[in-house]
Structure 1
């Protein structure tokens, strides 16, 4: 099988010739740039710079040589964009490693702290000295009283996660932006036999947290249902219009479209099933069904945490794939998930315990963890391997190599 055929078989619940593998195919299956620099050195790769495409999480672009080395079957649509030198500028990682970051990001430094600024100079995110990440510090709708007609474009310019979205940002959905999206997606499709994931986002529960601040949004959900419904209706309309433009450009060239909404915690869902079904299920369903109508794609949801009680609702809403399958959370044991939902849901993740094993175990312990998880999740298809979320900065390169080497020896 080609890589694309392998992934398509897996996500159609057919067992491929070998386990399909993802590494950096989306923003929660990747690797922090500090760890990536060490991995390259460990593998003896001396060519190429370190490119940080996601500055909040400090994620590196994984180069073709590494993808080939570990037999990776997936690539993210963003790899078709920002290929020229002028799209990047010099920066330095917290450990002093030189790197390149997207040129459009407006950075400022005060003493030893870094700040991301919006176009008008508002500081929207900060990375204090010795921190490995940027944190959002400005919430554009925190003090908003009138939500009758929200200007999402303006608000997104001053919210870290929406302002600093992945390449092909900062392309717009105007005619020229659509043309560039289509051309980049077409070229990438023609250059690879890997399955392509298009990151759309379309977040419904997370974007209000980015705009209002998390505590304010949770209080609104619990105490102001009419206001919440009105806001979410506007957000769905905004996402729906852009989804149509996005898929008109890239729909012929991607295999999976990824939406995002973290709904879980270590101890279970962030909300009751009733609240999810009331506010989010019909709206998720609306967007996911629209995506499938506009293009021949499978719908993936990036959703961290323990969401076992919500899985039936997510399936009913039309979800095909969930990642990163955080099996270390309550009721998320891989055996339970595979037994109860393996016929209806693709588990894109859960392949290695990043919390308790990958960063602190021996290579042998990592390999054993991987083999056991693959043994449970792979039979019958419906599984694409990735570790549980991104590889953190402290993970030894020999453990990363052991993880990928163990996948096919389960």
Structure 2
């Protein structure tokens, strides 16, 4: 395509997806933009790394997979648990930690603590990799407002508030599919608990006036 310069920044480390740069959005007349791209915009937010397949890319500074003797890359969380792996010659990270693999607990008080053990949550991409910052919601609002005022593109934000898929994350897909038939009461309890967790996140969107404009645009 005759392209030169720029960066190959892998913003979604689980799926190993690179963020399209601005000139690519314009070249292909992309008419929607993710507010998350307004985060991690500085060179200091990234570092150079060579993938096992030989490509030179950049990873977010918070993501430091550990290369194993067999050539695979493991993602280790703050507790020292292996939560994902990318086998040699693979092109994405597989989940390795399933908190409820051995069965459903009596209650789900520990669910918010365990959810980051799932690589989709523990290795989350922008803007959610900043969700732990005290002023995150204010940052999100300001960046959404800036885009609203400076682009004619539709704005969107990824929010992974899925329910049944989280069942497969926590129990592993083979177990959860059987649970739908064999343990419907436990499935219902889990989905109720997940809904409560997700609502706590979604309710915060309601206080962001910019979000209402985005949601109304998506609904039309």
Could you tell me the TM-score, scaled by structure 2's length?
0.90
Are the equivalent residues in 2 in contact too, given 1:189–1:253 (CA < 8 A)?
no
> What secondary structure sits across from 2:146 in the alignment?
helix
Equivalent residue for 2:79, pick from 107, 120, 123: 120
Aligned equivalent of 1:169: 128
Please give the alpha-carbon distance, in whole angstroms, between the structure 2 residues aligned to 1:120 and 1:166.
20
Are the equivalent residues in 2 in contact too, given 1:81–1:167 (CA < 8 A)?
yes
- Deviation of the 1:206 alpha carbon: 0.6
Runs of 5+ unmatched residues, structure 1: 1-42, 257-295, 300-319, 321-410
Closer, same or farther: CA 173–133 of 1 in aligned 2, 3 Å: closer
Please give the alpha-carbon distance, in whole angstroms, between the structure 2 residues aligned to 1:63 and 1:147.
47
Are the equivalent residues in 1 in contact too, given 2:13–2:125 (CA < 8 A)?
no
Aligned equivalent of 2:25: 67
Equivalent residue for 1:206, pick from 159, 165, 173: 165
Q: What does 1:220-369 align with in structure 2 at a 5 Å threshold? A: 220-249=179-208, 251-252=210-211, 255-256=214-215, 296-298=216-218
| Number of equivalenced pairs | 219
> What secondary structure sits across from 2:80 in the alignment?
coil
- Deviation of the 1:84 alpha carbon: 1.8
Aligned equivalent of 2:6: 48
- Deviation of the 1:46 alpha carbon: 0.9
Runs of 5+ unmatched residues, structure 2: none
> What secondary structure sits across from 1:100 in the alignment?
strand
> What secondary structure sits across from 2:129 in the alignment?
coil
Tell me whether 1:97 sits opposite 2:55 in the alignment: yes
Closer, same or farther: CA 50–207 of 1 in aligned 2, 3 Å: same
> What secondary structure sits across from 1:89 in the alignment?
strand
- Deviation of the 1:78 alpha carbon: 1.0
Please give the alpha-carbon distance, in whole angstroms, between the structure 1 residues aligned to 2:94 and 2:103.
21
Tell me whether 1:58 sits opposite 2:16 in the alignment: yes
Could you tell me the TM-score, scaled by structure 1's length?
0.50
Tell me whether 1:107 sits opposite 2:73 in the alignment: no
- Deviation of the 1:77 alpha carbon: 1.6
Tell me whether 1:188 sits opposite 2:147 in the alignment: yes
Aligned equivalent of 1:132: 91
Please give the alpha-carbon distance, in whole angstroms, between the structure 2 residues aligned to 1:208 and 1:145.
11
